[in-house]
Amino acid sequence: MLPLPTPRTDPDVLFRCENSSLAEEEQKNPAKNSAGDVALAYEIDRVLWADSVFRARDYAHIDVQVLGGFAHLYGHISSMSSQHQAEKALQIIPGLHGVVSHLILDDRLLAEVATSLGFLEHMDNCKFFTGVSHGVVFISGKVSDVKVRLLAEKCASDNPNVRGVINSICIRGSKLILQDQPYLQPTIGGEIIFLNGISGIVRQVIIDPNNRRVIAMIAQGQFTDQLQDLQSLKNGKSLPPERLIVLSMDLVRYLTKVSGFLHINTNERNRYTDFDPVNFIAPQKSWVPPYPYCLNEVLFPVQHRDEDSQAIYGPHPFQFAKTSEAESLRKDFFANSNFGA
């Protein structure tokens, strides 16, 4: 069999979000799909899952949309060879016209991030040790002060293909304190369940713009005690209306692709707060959200902290402080260097 045509696209440009409304409509009305697209999607999933090496290495980090007989691959993958392996496996599927790859390669992303950090290495006379796993960047090393540590994190997160940055850089002469930095990405539309069984649906995520990691999520639901709900129904009263609440990622006990479990009950009101839009801002349209999120699914915290926001995110301070401050540090640092501003 002749190999399938595999047209390439710029991996920096993802059209998944532009096609999301079409994909949702197809899921709701599969009968309206172009001939064979639904069957092709199931067959593609089966073939990729059947490849034990690909399943163990990259399967969980990509998704596929089939439009007009073409398979569009989105997400992060470990290497070019792994991408070729997936495309080769798909060649056996009858009726598949071709594969359009929007995949972001770890090996290529690693080279890009390491290159951008090279300027800081030269200026601070330091060495960064960098790794990438399915779009998540890990940075370690020793630098002169906290400003350079912050700049390194911001430098890596400036790459729009980075999903998040885990910063383990320490300051020379300071005691190394290892911080727990779990990387969690709740699924938009996924279920979030409290310890007492009450659940809600994830509507948006709140991202730290300086490391592109999710720090909180906005969930929608009727967050009341089950006993209160039964009492309301018994008394002929209607259930309370749904509301939006903000949950720090520190509250997550376990997370899957479709659901998440918290280690608090709904009656622990001091551990979460109602959503107030004045505490958050939408990212600029030019900002590229980390996979798998779309722009309208992301919010940033406002550039100040008050008592309410401290209740949301816990007692620890924001690592990024203000986005504008990090950018100012960058400008000051390079303005004083041989590279100029």
- Contacting residues for 317 by C-beta, under 8 A, at least 6 apart: 305
Do 4 and 95 touch, CB atoms closer than 8 A? no
pLDDT, tens digit (0-9, with 9 covering 90-100), for 115-157: 999 988 988 889 999 999 999 999 999 998 889 999 999 999 9
The pLDDT of residue 116 is 92
pLDDT, one tens digit for every residue, the chain (341 residues): 334 444 444 433 345 676 554 445 554 554 445 657 888 989 999 999 998 899 999 998 998 889 888 999 999 999 999 999 888 889 889 989 889 889 999 999 999 999 999 988 988 889 999 999 999 999 999 998 889 999 999 999 999 999 999 999 998 887 766 666 678 999 999 999 999 889 999 999 999 999 999 999 999 998 875 555 555 555 555 556 789 999 999 999 999 888 999 999 998 989 999 999 999 999 999 999 999 999 999 999 986 443 333 433 344 333 333 444 455 555 554 444 443 33
How far is the CA of 254 from the CAs of 120, 259, 262, in angstroms? 37, 9, 7
Paired tokens of 242 = 């749904």
Assigned fold of 107-181: Histidine-containing Protein; Chain: A; (3.30.1340)
Q: Distance (Å, rounded) from C-alpha 109 to C-alpha 95?
A: 33
Q: Distance (Å, rounded) from C-alpha 61 to C-alpha 135?
A: 9
Do 15 and 63 touch, CB atoms closer than 8 A? no
> Which class in CATH covers the domain with range 20-102?
alpha beta
- Contacting residues for 98 by C-beta, under 8 A, at least 6 apart: 4, 5, 6, 7, 69, 70, 71
In the chain, what is the straight-line distance between the N-terminal and C-terminal CA atoms, in Å?
56
- Contacting residues for 1 by C-beta, under 8 A, at least 6 apart: 91, 92
The pLDDT of residue 175 is 73
Beta strands in 9-133 (DSSP E): 62-67, 70-77, 98-101, 104-105, 128-133
Parts of the chain belonging to CATH 3.30.1340: 20-102, 107-181
CA dihedral 64, 77, 136, 296 (to 10 degrees): -20
